[in-house]
Amino acid sequence: MNCCWCGDDVPAARWALGIRMCMMCGEEQARQERMSWCVVQEYGKGAYQFVTPNSARKTLRETNQKQPR
């Protein structure tokens, strides 16, 4: 049972859960994924909102308080 990225050994417990990469490669993949996240505050006192790449243009345009909607 080897990692699909680097070839290191993957513990049997992780392999049984369906995780095919070692801890180091999994951490690196998680870091890259988190770098693509964008969180904005919808209004001045509103809650934070997760913005996906598909909805970023529309959502960020709507959060501008200085422009009429």
Q: Count of CB atoms within 10 A of residue 3's CB? A: 18
Same domain, 41 and 66: yes
Domain limits for position 63: 37-69
Same domain, 28 and 1: yes
Distance of CA 34 to the CA centre of its chain: 4
Same domain, 2 and 22: yes
Per-residue pLDDT of the chain (69 residues; tens, 9 = 90+): 899 999 999 999 999 999 999 999 999 999 998 887 877 776 667 788 788 878 877 877 777 667 665
- Phi, psi (degrees; rounded to nearest 5) at 51: -115, 125
Same domain, 8 and 27: yes
Number of domains in the chain: 2
Whole-structure pTM value: 0.56
Same domain, 6 and 21: yes
